[in-house]
Amino acid sequence: MQSPPPPLPHGYPPAMGYPPPPMMYPHGGYGPPLPPGYSPYPYGHPPPGTVIIYPATPPNRAAACARGCLAAMIIIVILICLSSLLTWAILRPQTPVFHVDNMSVTNFNTSTPFTATWNTNISVQNPNHKLRVYFDRIMVVVLYDEEDMLGDTWLNPILMETKTNTTVNAVIAVNGSAENAVPIWVSQEMSKDRRELGAVIFSLRFRIWATFKSGNWWTRSLVMKVSCEDLKVKFDASSGALEPGKRDDCAVYA
């Protein structure tokens, strides 16, 4: 029995007299061509996209107005600060100087009802070169132990020209009336000081409504508080006088 012939090696031409073997894919591995008139896409062209046009946002007038007002306020504050600095540089305002020259106490009676009269001279100086000072209203109070009020009074208005000095006289009388009665325990403490120390320490407090003026173009009003402490009055019976010696000027708060 004859054996079949061995297979031909690949890459060699077929033997004479035999047709070439058919290929598995007739179109060389690609699909058959489309008939004429057909597109490779299922649709000719994609549908046009929908374009949404939004209206332009109108400007926010309220926000613009608020920004404008804020900017105007900032400018005004800056101008006021610059004006104040310029005024201070030109006028250099200073508070007046107060000093207690003397004080006498008469009719000092610590029994019930308490009575006393304080007569005090206070020197006042206006150190300003370009500012006049008007003391429109002046209230003065006398205290014991820096906090216990004994009596008060109002003084007349005062005008102080530039670089001038004046003396203010303050008389405060406590006559034992129920309207301005002093507590009994306060009277007892003052009686004890006079008996043991021979002196009682008082304080004067001023509240002054003042106006500073420079001609007709600059005016400033303020309330000053003046505190004169440690006024030691030596007593002989029912009368006393301020102990001599150098004292500091009164403290001024404006």
pLDDT digits (tens, 9 = 90+) for 49-104: 666 666 666 667 778 888 888 889 898 988 877 776 776 666 678 999 999 999 99
Integer Cα distance of 126 and 230 in angstroms: 24
Q: Is 118 helix (H, G, I), strand (E, B) or coil?
A: strand
Of residues 231 and 30, more confidence is placed in 231
Phi, psi of 213 (to 5 degrees): -135, 145
CA distance 8 to 15: 9
Tell me what the mean pLDDT of segment 186-209 comes to.
97
Query: pLDDT by residue (tens digit) across 38-53?
Result: 555 555 555 566 666 6
Across the chain, mean pLDDT equals: 84
Which pLDDT belongs to residue 81?
78
CA distance 181 to 203: 18
Is the peptide bond preceding residue 113 cis, with omega within 30 degrees of 0?
Answer: yes
DSSP 156: -
16 CB-near residues (< 8 Å, 6+ apart): none
**pLDDT, tens digit, for every residue of 103-159?**
999 999 999 899 999 999 999 999 999 899 999 999 999 999 989 999 999 999 999
Q: Token pair for residue 177? A: 């009336």
* Interacting residues of 96 by C-beta distance below 8 A, sequence separation 6+: 124, 125, 126, 127, 133, 160, 210, 224, 252
Beta strands in 127-238 (DSSP E): 132-144, 148-155, 158-160, 164-174, 199-214, 218-236
Residue 173: CA atoms inside 13 Å, Cβ hemisphere, count? 4
